[in-house]
Amino acid sequence: MGEENTWAAPTATDSIDADVRVPGSKSITNRAFVLAALSDGATLVREPLDSRDARLMLGAIDVLGAASTETADGVRIEPMADGHGEVDVVLGNAGTVARFTPPLAALGSRTVRFDGDPAIRRRPVAPLLEALRTLGAHIDDEGRGTVPFTIRGEGGLRGGSVEIDSSASSQFLSALLLSAPAFERGVTVRLRGETPSEPHIAMTLDMLRRFGAAPERDGTEFHVPPARLELDSYTVEPDLSSAAPFVVAPLLTGGRIRVAGWPAETTQPGDWLRDLVRRLGGDAVLDADGLTVTGGDTLPGAVLDLHAVGELTPVVTALLCFADGPSEIRGVAHLRGHETDRLAALATEISALGGDVTDTEDGLRIRPTPLRGGTFHTYDDHRLVMAGAVLALRVPGITVENPATVGKTFPDFVQRWERVVR
């Protein structure tokens, strides 16, 4: 890929027949780093993601007093030690860093400034800051309720009960739960609104338990009592959302692909892709070697509610552009506050290639039409690079702008994709 800022994404001239590996899960890696930073002893995070978002998280926990070291076996993290003075947490455009690290800052005694890419300043964070204030944090955001903001740590956080509207991002809730074992009184969170990304909440609870906490859930109420965390080592699963473009490829090209290391059980939202493949006429077989997907003879259109698996929307939208009939995606209004307004970006970019995709209040309407080549803009959004790659499988002449932005979660995506498409 080099320094080039466009990519002539390959068009398939033959059916796919490939085995692929994808890097570690962003969501699991960045939770493991946070929980390790809060632990009593050192933790070795094995097979972590190495990408922009993961490095930003390591940078954040390190300025907050943890010490991460890359070893042959993974990343070893010594937990946070308190300190004084002013430090900066660099957020890039990482939602997980912007939402999961403010509670860590409130637990220490430093003054911590948070800022990042222009795009992160537009992403929602106000409900989380408000909840942290209720739990005892001192936050100065000059009344904006957005990045940038400053947290003046006072050496600990009281915790207690709080209500939060987490409908703009499940990460607000995950942020409170992940750090709660270190709050003096733990936390009780009552949710208002329809929280998206349910699997990511399950992931938070599961990982808290593995590190020794005892979270409880009763519907929309969550309780995490204070606890000492400790775990010698944690192995990260492959990122099933990064696998999405590979998984859907045989539905467009025919043939088969095997994604190595697909877990038998997981909290990752990408596991839903197995159901999607079967529903759209393909087959997906999971065994000890991984997930093998084969394409079918038809590709029916579908009405899909992606509220729980929103991050899959760009790739699923690209796929459905080639369906035999129209499709609708619902339940993803919160994607307007992702890396970019993903609903607007997908509608604009696919329409510019001759497609008929419109954004609705909470999703997208897709009427398959013949597409033509052209530039596919990516708005600094890794998942738009992946969507552009999927479109190009069937449409010659698509040039994906700024492919390097995929490095947020999958630095060598272009190389691995080019090895698979033939």
| C-alpha distance from residue 406 to each of 63, 99, 273, 381, 382 (Å) | 25, 21, 20, 7, 4
Q: Is 70 one of the catalytic residues?
A: no
- Is residue 52 a contact residue for ligand S3P (CB under 6 A)? no
- Output the smallest distance, CB 223 to ligand S3P, in A: 19
- Is residue 270 a contact residue for ligand S3P (CB under 6 A)? no
65 three-class SS: coil
Under a CB-based contact definition with an 8 Å cutoff, are residues 167 and 195 in contact? yes
- Is residue 196 a contact residue for ligand S3P (CB under 6 A)? yes
Alpha carbon distance 302, 324 (integer Å): 10
**Residue 338 annotated as binding?**
yes
Q: How many residues bind ligand PEP (CB under 6 A)?
A: 8
H-run or E-run covering 129: helix 126-134
Catalytic residue among 311, 328, 339, 418: 311
- Is residue 343 a contact residue for ligand PEP (CB under 6 A)? no
- Output the smallest distance, CB 94 to ligand PEP, in A: 5
Q: Which phi and psi (to 5°) does residue 121 adopt?
A: -70, -20
**Residue 171 annotated as binding?**
yes
- Output the smallest distance, CB 311 to ligand S3P, in A: 4
**DSSP bridge partners of 217:** 222
**Residue 27 annotated as binding?**
yes
Under a CB-based contact definition with an 8 Å cutoff, are residues 353 and 370 in contact? no
Alpha carbon distance 117, 380 (integer Å): 10
Mask of contacts with ligand S3P, 20-49, x by CB under 6 A?
-------x----------------------
192 three-class SS: strand
Residue 383: name its binding partner from ligand PEP, ligand S3P, none (Cβ under 5 to 8 Å by kind). ligand PEP
Footprint of ligand S3P on residues 85-104 (CB under 6 A)? 95-96
Mask of contacts with ligand PEP, 297-326, x by CB under 6 A?
--------------x---------------
Alpha carbon distance 63, 150 (integer Å): 14
Annotated binding site for phosphoenolpyruvate: 26, 95, 123, 171, 342, 383, 408
